Structure 1
Amino acid sequence: MLYYLSTFSDVLSALNVFRYLTFRTGGAVMTALVVSFIIGPFVINWLKSRQAEGQPIRDDGPESHLVTKVGTPTMGGVMILFSMSFATLLWVDLSNAFVWAVLSLTLGYGLIGFADDYLKVTRRNTRGLSGRMKLVAQVLMGALVAFWIVSFSDDAHATAVAVPFTKELFIQLGWFYIPFAVFVMVGSSNAVNLTDGLDGLAIVPVMIAAVVFMLIAYLAGNAVFSKYLLIPYVPGTGELAVFCGAIVGAALGFLWYNAPPAQVFMGDTGSLALGGALGAMAIATRHELVLAIVGGLFVLEAVSVIVQVISFKTTGRRVFRMAPLHHHFEKKGWAESTVVIRFWIIALILAVIGLSTLKLR
């Protein structure tokens, strides 16, 4: 919205600053952060008034959670989504189709998560929407957004997958790209959801990944930088840097209240939405495989669940003491803060490796 003030720069030259992506991205970070701080106490108090007993806790989870997590409200993702959306719409070029596509998927997945959280809270158990219902809704939304992005993308690799660490090597998928894109978005969404099990565990890696894709979006949308780095040039994706900035600000604001001991959990409302946002960002910027590196922590968490389920169903034995992976280390005696901080370190290392793909070719 503020972007359009730059059209009056001939009257007041200072307004030309609203044309710059870097300025508006920084503005989005600060706006989302401030909004989170302002609405945080009100949202938490409102959630507490509606959730007298807080989020239902798994009986088969770590024993400590039955003590330390009881009474903490969930659905704090509404705080993230509101702050992020407000900052995005305030600072972005509203005529940019990429922003609307990615934002639509984010809010759509957030709505699915909200319904899931609502059923869990009202029914007072850990089962919300059925897994099949959630998956069908995610696939349908993902397919619509994937087709939408491909339809207005005018670059030469709209249906191709770029291979990291190589020079201009693309795997052309044609119409098979749509199912692939859906897999990326749905997989990313559920992987972040599985990671969200300890105070602050998921939100910081999401924030780290958002910073990486903020840079990728800026570079991919710039003809000069993308040509120099030999990455796909996707006109218009630069505006997604503003969207990523809004995620970073909203994530920082939420972390203020989610830091141990958490005053609120993001719930599926936040985790499904943020995971979907990262997946959609990867699709829009043509960095799908880079997401698997940058979000490697989420991949590990998801794989640990898959391996555990397959092993138990086929052999009757468990590979991990408990899945997802962070609960395995809790069961081994690691303190919650130790697990969280070490996983943050892993996420940061993977982000650096992911960034290296921009230059090492």
Structure 2
Amino acid sequence: MTSAPKPALSGVREAVRRTPAYPFTPIDAPIKLDQNESAQDLPPELRQIALERLGQADWNRYPDLHADSLRHKIAAFEDWNPEGVVVTPGSNVLIKLLTELAGVGQTVLSVQPNFSVYGLEASLLGAKSVQVPLNGDFSLPVAGLIHELKEGGPGLLFVTQPHAPTGHLDNEADVRAVLDAAGDDWVAVLDEAYYQFTPHDGRALIRERGNRVSLRTFSKAWGLAGLRLGYALTSPELAANLQKLVSAFNVNVLTQTVAEVALEHPAYMRERAAETVRERERVLSALANHPIYQALPSQANFFLLRTPDADAAFQHLLSRGILVRRQDKLPMLDGCLRVSIGTPQQNDALIAALEGSTEY
């Protein structure tokens, strides 16, 4: 009897073979509003300081083992114990490592829709993924999450505030109720990539229990997406275990130097975050009475635009040189595009392009 042929690359784990790649196709456009980046780069004077320091750095030497000097600067900025700070090249790396820490052979719990990397990493690593649908207003399904936390586990919980991709910000009581329900059996992660654009700051919630983690990034309000740098704030005990999974010397001297300069001059970040919030509210107000598009409320540096036909709306904007991100294949987001807040001039162009579109 002939045995069934083995699949190609049978040495690759089945979980990896069956998991799709990260869903992103780059497109060139004059106005790029598709990736929730900052519309502005590091200020020129700070860039010059960073370049001068790089000119004096030893490029032939390995950087700090665990980005130690940067960890201490982050800790000072966040008023956090440096032993509870873990730094990696992007918070998506931390999502992967947290899945290795608490998800493999266990459960990864989040909501639906969500940041796709949660589910991708769970799938790649063979963890059980449970996603509870958001409420109709995009708020946290508190009862559903608490049920899963009580009935399942142990594992890894992701709560995103404000939520991506909707931009919804939940009240603290609901967030606390979910985190409290995680008890000791779950590592509870509060993903705060966009917290600078809200009145929310979850550090007090994280301090209440040693198995809680805040994820933060330099990619959004700091305007440093090109550096790829994120960090976790947690207890020293959990940080010590998470750090075991981080590759040695994982933050290079370029990234560390530029981030340290930024941390020494945080006023620019706060000013730009405030400007982004003002621009977000201006854009949402300008689109509030559009005859066919619905600009949904947001507390992030992006918003969802619900349209009758996402493809037609996407192509219309692209024809005007404006690139946004389609989200219409996600649950609950039929017809939706995700639009980042740009510079005032870019936002003016967006408003004009949308106001000029009253039919397809």
Output the TM-score relative to the length of structure 1.
0.25
Q: Which has the higher helix share?
A: 1
Q: Which has the higher strand share?
A: 2
Larger radius of gyration: 2
